[in-house]
Amino acid sequence: MANPKSAYSVSTKKEKTDTHIIVVWVDNEAGVLARVVGLFSGRGYNIESLAVAEVDAKKNISRITIVTTGTPQVIDQIKLQLKKLVPVHKVADFKRNDKGVIFKEMALFKVVGNTNKIKKAISACKKYNAVILDKTKKSNVIQITALRREIDKMTKNLKKFGLVSVSRTGAVAMTRGDKIFN
Amino acid sequence: MSKLYSGAEIVFKCLEDQDVEFIFGYPGGAVLPIYDELKNHSSIKHILVRHEQGAGHAAEGYARSSGKPGVVLVTSGPGATNVVTALTDAYMDSVPLVCISGQVPTHLIGTDAFQECDTTGITRPCTKHNWLVKDIKDLSKILHEAFRVATTGRPGPVLVDIPKDIQFAKINYSKPKTEKKLNGKSLNHFSQNDINKLIDLMNKSKKPIFYSGGGVINSGPEASESLRELVQLTGFPITSTLQGLGAYPGDDNQFLGMLGMHGTYEANNAMHDCDLLINVGARFDDRITGKIDEFSPNSKKVHIDIDPSSINKIIKVDLALVGDVNNVIKSINKTLKSKKIDLKKSNKQKISKWWEQIQKWRTKNSLNFKNSDTNIKPQHAVQRLYELTKNKDTFITTEVGQHQMWAAQHYKFNKPNRWMTSGGLGTMGYGLPAAVGVQIAHPKKLVIDIAGEASVLMTMQEMSTAVQYNLPIKIFILNNQYMGMVRQWQELLHEKNYSESYSEALPDFIKLAEAYGCKGIMADKPSDLDEKIKEMVQYDGPVIFDCRVDPNENCFPMIPSGKPHNQMILGPSEKEENKITGKGKALV
């Protein structure tokens, strides 16, 4: 990159980037996810993870949860640009380290090996609400819900216990207490 | 039971209810039912273009000069892809367009059918919103919604994709309930407190400046009136972006000329040195700000804009007033008057030094150029064109490049909606079709496309449209045989390696004009220029004017890349000491 101190590049001020969780309520209609995702890719914002599903069948509303990183200015732009999209109803934004909000991701682990290894794998997963979804003599499918970095850690740790396949979701978020997003 | 209408009929019912008078379009297989219905609706006139891009730009010219949304009708596949450039152009410059495209029948969507493309997918990033109509029940609702989205808030293009089977399908139609007029109130998010804060800043300021943009034009002619009142009430200097020209009279003494890369010395220096910068409906575009870090370093910044996402996008501001420009300015004017704050008087002493400084900058006469007796200088040509047409209510469109900047610098606009140019996207080939659209909206007015010979060849085919509808547009080509702006950058940045910027085989524009059935005029001597311009203006019909100008002329003044506002290159004499350094090169 040439001299960044120029008329045609972004500001030279290297601002700190933060991880934010953006929650978007949208009309559940064709192409709406493409609009939201296209806005991110078109404007060069990044998406760390994405979770989307309909949450209100009667009003036809889907809820999209996006984990992204950016400077405060970029995060502001993301929110303001999202609000301009016609099918978007409202947008909420939280810092990942916000104590008032719960963030969870889910992961499925397939472990193949002898009983001893599988046992060890299950016990390693215990503190993350482990559920055994499928069980054979040689294998187990374990479901956990945890934070992103905890799942990252588990995928590493379980390798030695015969982890052969990982499937995981994007983060979803909800406020603690009786507060709701607005 | 009420009468059943076909989808094609409903399209026209909606257009009629939206008071649409003109459609710019081109027929094709997937829109034939709509074209078949055209004959039954005499209040709507269809303008047949020669290329869908031309339809889009013509609709832009129509919209920008009339304040009404432009309507485009194209077929599926290539019809839709050809209009993408115009949609993007309209999106960048906030022009309200409603584009209706045909689509292959619903059951064939996704099968790679003949002339099928993913139109809503392709146009998603270049429209405010788009719709694929999958059910005839939704058609009228979507069309009315399309007009609402295109024209409210920050205007822009929208697209409605209608499969052929939907155009044949039948359903009943009821007129939409007239929505309560909100007068833009729902878009206004500023309070009296904000207005008071602004007035306080204005009161304290010693070196204030207004910087107005296309938002003033989009807010309607009344906004220009309000702006003029505000500028006169305050006695502050005002500069304008390319798109904002005409909102404030170009020949008024408080007007400093255009700012930015090819703006005047006084406007750019005033932006740099001011202590209060009031942005009225502009967006801090990179051609305006120059080097961001050194942009107006000592000023309090105020931003008036209808689009909340424009605030703090590029330049952080101290005070933001989100709302319709006209509503905001009217509130400011009202408050100034009701509180009997006479800024002109109370500020006079404080500001007089500022005006003295501005006068000093003005003496640089930065738009000056060395005129010649033998060659027509392009700046001279624009000046003569201005002098010979300023007494008429003239509408100017341009293509993109040097001629566009010379037009912006030397043609003075006194009214809004008289200046149509592609600013954001910079689309060569915009001006000719835009002139077609402007002339459709203003059949009796003089419409001139100040063009470059390279740009105008990109959409030259629309001369045929002008001839078909007897549109007396004047295409004033500043012919320097080069892609002038490309050549200028190559001269300044690439050691005069004029790679592919010279046009080897230009057409004979007089013969070309005659081939289209219009008049061709050529001028290559300064002494003939006035006479020939008069001949062009007086001719009742479309004209192509081949004005052969000095091919080596560059566009000055100029902020070189990587430099802030107060380091402008003034002209050939000053050029050497201000060479663009290696690092700035990559950043053009």
Nearest to B124 among A13, A35, A83 (CB): A35
Q: Is the pLDDT of residue B563 over 90?
A: no
Please indicate whether residue B463 is annotated as part of the active site.
Answer: no
Interface residue A10 vs chain B (CB under 8 A): yes
Question: Which of B290, B293, B564 is the closest to A12 by Cβ?
Answer: B293
Is B114 labeled as catalytic in the residue annotation?
yes
The answer to whether residue A41 neighbours chain B at the CB level (below 8 Å) is: no
Q: Residue A83 and residue B585: Cβ atoms within 8 Å?
A: no
Question: What's the pLDDT tens digit per position in B326-377?
Answer: 999 999 999 999 988 777 777 777 899 999 999 999 999 999 999 999 999 9
Find which of B271, B287, B313, B315 to mutate to test the A interface (most A CBs within 10 Å of its CB). B313
Q: How far is B286 from chain A (nearest CA, A)?
A: 6
Q: In which band, very low, low, confident or very high, does the pLDDT at B188 lie, cut at 50, 70 and 90?
A: confident
From the CA of B41, how many Å to the nearest CA of chain A?
A: 31
Could you report the per-residue pLDDT of B297-325, keeping only the tens digit for each? 999 999 999 999 999 999 999 999 999 99
B255 is catalytic: no
End-to-end CA separation in angstroms for chain B = 64
CA distance A47 to chain B (A): 18
Put simply, whether A180 touches B (Cβ < 8 Å) is no
Residue B560, pLDDT score:
82
Cα B14 to Cα B36, B128, B129: the distances in Å are: 16, 20, 18
Angle (CA) B338-B344-B346 rounded to 5° is 85
Question: CB within 8 A of A149, min separation 6: which ones?
Answer: none
pLDDT in tens, B91-101: 999 999 999 99
ipTM of the complex as predicted = 0.89
pLDDT tens digits, one per residue of B465-513 = 999 999 999 999 999 999 999 999 999 888 899 999 999 899 999 999 9
Give the separation between CA B413 and CA B392, rounded to whole angstroms: 12
CA-to-CA distance for A32 and A36, rounded, in angstroms? 6
pLDDT band, very low/low/confident/very high, at B181 (cuts 50, 70, 90):
low
Q: CA torsion sign, B186 to B279 to A88 to B10?
A: positive
Taking any CB pair shorter than 8 Å as contact, residues of chain B touching chain A are 120-121, 124-125, 128-129, 132, 134, 149, 286, 289-293, 307-309, 311-313, 316, 559, 561-564, 583-588
Tell me which long-range contacts B338-345 makes (C-beta under 8 A, separation of at least 24): B339/B199, B341/B199, B341/B203, B343/B202, B343/B203, B343/B233, B343/B234, B343/B235, B343/B236, B344/B232, B344/B233, B344/B234, B344/B235
- A77 within 8 A of A147, measured Cβ to Cβ: no
B108 phi/psi in degrees, rounded to 5: -100, -10
Region at B290 (left for phi over 0; alpha for psi -120 to 50; beta for the rest): left
Query: Does the annotation count B164 as an active-site position?
Result: yes
- pLDDT 10s digits, B241-289: 999 999 999 999 999 999 999 999 999 999 999 999 999 999 999 899 9
What is the DSSP annotation of B309-327?
A: GGTTSSS--SEEEES-HHH
A chain contacts of residue B131, beta-carbon cutoff 8 Å: none
Task: Give the neighbor-by-neighbor strand order of the sheet with A88-95.
Answer: A49-56, A61-70, A18-27, A88-95
Stretches where chain A sits below pLDDT 70 are 1-13, 181-182
Chain B CB contacts of A29 below 8 Å: none
The model's pLDDT over B277-298, given as tens digits with 9 standing for 90+, comes to: 999 999 999 899 988 889 999 9
Neighbours of B134 (CB within 10 A): 16
Q: Tell me how far apart the alpha carbons of residues A174 and B369 are, in angstroms, rounded to a whole number.
A: 65
Q: Do A13 and B293 touch (CB under 8 A)?
A: yes
Is the previous residue joined to B557 through a cis bond, with omega within 30 degrees of 0? yes
pLDDT band at B526 (very low <50, low <70, confident <90, very high): very high
Place of tokens 């835009």: B434
Taking the Cβ of residue A132 and every Cβ of chain B, the question of whether any pair is shorter than 8 Å is answered with no
* Strand order across the beta sheet in which B276-280 lies: B255-258, B238-240, B208-212, B276-280, B300-305, B319-322
Residue B177's pLDDT is: 75
Neighbouring C-beta atoms of residue B197, cutoff 10 Å: 16
Question: What does the pLDDT average to over B515-524?
Answer: 98
Quick check: is B369 catalytic?
no
Q: What angle do CA B381, B385, B387 make, to 5 degrees?
A: 115
SS3 of residue A83 by DSSP: helix
Given an 8 Å threshold on Cβ–Cβ distance, is B309 in contact with A84? yes
* Percentage of chain B modeled with pLDDT above 70: 96
Mean pLDDT of B141-146: 96
**Cα–Cα nearest to B65, from B188, B172, B198, B221:** B221
Angle, helices A115-125/A148-157, rounded to nearest 10 degrees: 160
Say if CB B274 and CB B299 are below 8 A apart: yes
Contacts of B311 (CB under 8 A, 6+ apart): A80, B303, B305, B317, B320, B322
Tell me the C-alpha distance between B192 and B200, whole Å.
Answer: 12
